[in-house]
């Protein structure tokens, strides 16, 4: 399984779907699985039941992926913070889509569908998460000033060059 991680607004869903097509594998967006099983949006989950409930649903969705599933998975920006999720990621090929916080803010503004953007300490959150993303990644790719198609082309060759133990 290939897992795309990175902060909100890095383009995980867009790049994940394109990459999956390019390497002929299925694509799943974990946030959509959570929304489908909850029957409401992520913003509604946060406002009705809070962040902890969302995190529980997010991890549950990750755990319920079919055993041996070998597609491309995009996970929300907070998913890799869960220590048990990190165990799942350890057995996957992890791609970190790296951006600056300025890029995120310019791209998303105050997007109401992303409750974590209203976090009071967004910069702190960004910095703390960036360290974890970097530590989990087999491949880190900078995604500013480059088109999604170019990112996918670069990722294909980076994936082909990964050693089997990576
Ligand atoms: C979150 C990121 C969102 C979504 C939820 C929480 C976060 O996904 O999972 O709103 O904690 O950063 P994206 O990273 O796809 O925006």
Residue 29 in this model has a pLDDT that exceeds 70: yes
Q: Where are the domains positioned within the chain?
A: 2-156
| CATH architecture for segment(s) 2-156 | 3-Layer(aba) Sandwich (3.40)
57 lines ligand 1 (CB under 6 A): no
* Residue 30: Cβ-neighbour burial (10 angstroms; 0-12, 13-18, 19+): buried
pLDDT at position 9 is 94
**Is the pLDDT at 162 greater than 70, yes or no?**
yes
Condensed to tens digits (0 to 9), the pLDDT of residues 36-66 reads: 999 999 999 999 999 999 999 999 999 999 9
The Cα–Cα gap between 73 and 62 comes to 10
Sorting pLDDT into bands at 50, 70 and 90, what band is 3?
very high
In the reported structure, the alpha carbon of residue 11 is separated from the centroid of ligand 1 by a whole-number distance in angstroms of 11
Ligand 1 pocket residue status of 6, Cβ below 6 Å = no
Query: What b-and-e string marks burial along 141-160, b requiring 16 or more CB atoms within 10 Å of the CB?
Result: bebeeeeeeebbeebeeebe
pTM: 0.96
Question: Which atom number of ligand 1 is nearest to the Cα of residue 13?
Answer: 15
Does residue 165 register a pLDDT over 80?
A: no
Q: What is the mean pLDDT of residues 145-163?
A: 94
Ligand 1 centre from 140 Cα, in Å? 19
Residue 72's region, left for phi above 0, alpha for psi from -120 to 50, else beta, is beta
Q: Given this model, what pLDDT does residue 164 score? A: 64
Residue nearest to atom 4 of ligand 1 (CA): 76
Q: Take atom 8 of ligand 1 and give the residue whose Cα is closest.
A: 76
Is the distance from CB of 129 to CB of 92 less than 8 angstroms?
no
Contact predicate 132/82, CB 8 Å = no
Cβ contacts of 67 within 8 Å, gap of 6 or more:
none
Pocket of ligand 1 contains residue 8 by CB under 6 Å: yes
Q: Verify whether ligand 1 is closer than 6 Å to residue 77 (CB atom).
A: yes
Q: pLDDT tens, 90-145?
A: 999 999 999 999 999 999 988 889 999 988 899 999 999 999 999 999 999 999 99
Show the 3-state SS of 65-124.
CCCCCCCEEECCCCHHHCHHHHHHHHCCEEEEEECCHHHHHHHHCCCCCCHHHHCCCHHH
Half-sphere exposure of 103 (CA within 13 A, CB side): 16
């Amino acid at each position: 399984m290939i897992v795309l991680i990175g902060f909100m607004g890095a383009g995980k869903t867009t790049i994940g779907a394109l990459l999956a097509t390019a390497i002929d594998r299925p694509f799943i967006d974990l946030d959509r699985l959570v929304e489908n099983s909850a029957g409401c949006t992520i913003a509604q989950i946060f406002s009705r039941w809070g962040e902890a409930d969302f995190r529980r649903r997010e991890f549950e969705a990750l755990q319920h992926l079919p055993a041996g599933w070998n597609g491309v998975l995009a996970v929300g920006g907070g998913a890799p913070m869960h220590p048990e999720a990190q165990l799942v990621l350890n057995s996957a090929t992890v791609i970190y889509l790296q951006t600056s916080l300025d890029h995120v803010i310019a791209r998303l503004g105050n997007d109401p569908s992303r409750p974590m953007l209203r976090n009071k300490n967004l910069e702190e959150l960004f910095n703390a998460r960036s360290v974890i993303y970097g530590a989990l990644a087999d491949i880190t790719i900078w995604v500013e000033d480059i088109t999604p198609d170019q990112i996918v082309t670069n990722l294909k060759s980076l994936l082909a060059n990964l050693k089997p133990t990576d």
